[in-house]
Structure 1
Amino acid sequence: MSLGEPSPGVRVHGVAQGERAARPHLARSAIAHFACHGTSDSTDPSQSRLILDDHATAPLTVSALGRVSLDHAQMAYLSVCSTAHAGSSDLIDEAIHLTSAFQLAGFPHAIGTLWPIDDRLAAEIADSFYTHLTTGTPGRLDPALAATALHRTLRTVRDRYPATPSLWAAYLHAGA
């Protein structure tokens, strides 16, 4: 792959990398997948952040995303608790949260969650989601299928746990 081509994706897992390491990957990746913790700032939603290993000194906040050049961005998958929650009942209709920040920063598709999610099931949901995102060509994903892939995945999980929507109903797709 030449330097000018986007990489197919970046996976950033909690303590494995921090914002300083994630930023260059985000700039050249089509797909970003975060599996870590996050926090919503109810008094200043622009300071909501992903909890990466350097979050205390170089946080990946909503406002920091606006400074990242995302020329190749196609989809962000935030397997992180409450990324689509503004953090306060006073801001229940607030559109500024981590999921919308990734979309506004340049990812046409962003997957996020409205409340805390189950770690084990989150891994199963992500696996199924990416299976549904496959185009049929090995190793080829189509982010334009994100909404449909999430819908199909959640229908399957809903059928397994119909009496427990707290396990599957938190996931949402933001984008076109």
Structure 2
Amino acid sequence: MSEQPPTTNRVRALLPAPAQLTEPALGTDGSDPRTTAGSPTTATVLGRLPRCAIAHFACHGVSDPKDPSRSRLLLHDHATTPLTVSALAKADLEGAQLAYLSACGTAAPGSTDLLDEAIHLTSAFQLAGFPHVIGTLWPISDRLAVDIAESFYTHLTTGSPGTLDPGQAASALHDTVRTVRDRYPATPSLWAAYINSGA
């Protein structure tokens, strides 16, 4: 949600009727502008999610190994009202189909004491109602993340213009990761972090 416009436009062009929340630009004096209705705040995102079949997050994420329920996406107001696993647990998203979390460590397990718990942002989005969630196991390359997202959505495209099939998320991610793996076979840290959670 906070990428540079040319990067965002590459992914946005592949999404049907996207509603984009973008981090506001700094004021000319370097000041931080007030939050607006179009800013990616926790309240705005939680308010819009029930109307989104597909949600794509391009932002930073933090995995909290000591308290996985505090793992969070770093939205505009993350310092005061973070979008945490706990906050997502309250969401009820009946029409949800696919969430793509293009952020670092959104599927990272907690501490070794909690490995069997599977509490992280990816599972939280799934429990909130998204049957398909793309997450990451560790920090990812910002540059390559855009290529991977663009390829993923291209693989979801059906024969109808502007129509995606979220039911193909697993195979789309598989094909995308294999392509990136072929480009960087000696560097699995660039492509092996991406996982599909869901059917």
TM-score, structure 1 as length reference: 0.90
Contact 2:101/2:122, CA 8 A, preserved across alignment: yes
- Separation in 2 of the partners of 1:125 and 1:83? 16
Give unmatched runs, 5+ long, in structure 1. Answer: 1-6
Match of 1:128 in 2: 151
State the Cα deviation string for residues 106-162 of structure 1 (Å, max 9, x = none).
100000000000000000000000000001211101100000000000010011111
Paired with 2:119 and 2:22, the residues of 1 have a C-alpha distance of 23
**1:46-65 aligned within 5 A:** 46-65=69-88
Paired residues of 1:84 and 1:113 also in contact (CA < 8 A)? yes
Structure 2 residue matching 1:151: 3-state secondary structure: helix
Q: Please report how far the alpha carbon of residue 26 of structure 1 lies from its aligned counterpart in structure 2 after TM superposition.
A: 0.5
Alpha carbons of 1:111 and 1:13: their partners in 2 closer, same or farther (altered >3 Å)? Answer: farther
Aligned match for 1:151, one of 168, 174, 178? 174
Q: Counterpart in 1 of 2:31?
A: none
Q: What is the 5 A alignment of 1:8-47? A: 11-12=20-21, 16-47=39-70
Q: How many residues align?
A: 170
The equivalent residue for 1:174 is 197
Q: Which segments of structure 1 move beyond 6 Å, counting only runs of 4 or more?
A: none
Q: Whose strand proportion is higher, 1 or 2? A: 1
User: For residues 103 and 126 of structure 1, do their structure 2 counterparts lie closer, same or farther at Cα, with a shift above 3 Å needed?
Assistant: same
Find the partner of 2:98 among 67, 75, 79: 75
Partner AA of 1:134 in structure 2: T
The one-letter amino acid of 1:64's match is A
Aligned-pair distance for 1:90? 3.4
Q: 1:14 to 1:46 in 2, by over 3 A?
A: farther
Work out the CA distance in 1 between the residues paired with 2:92 and 2:21. 18
Deviation sequence 1:10-65 (CA, Å, 0-9, x none): 55556641111111211110000001111112222111110101112221111111
Matched with 1:100 is: 123
Q: TM-score, normalised by structure 2?
A: 0.80
Q: Which moved more, 1:124-133 or 1:80-89?
A: 80-89
What is the Cα-based RMSD across aligned positions, in Å?
A: 1.7
Amino acid at match of 1:148: S
Larger Rg computed on CA atoms? 2
Question: For structure 1, which segment, 74-83 or 16-25, has the greater mean C-alpha deviation from structure 2 after superposition?
Answer: 16-25
Determine helix, strand or coil for the equivalent of 1:32: strand
Counterpart-to-counterpart distance in 2, 1:94 and 1:39:
18
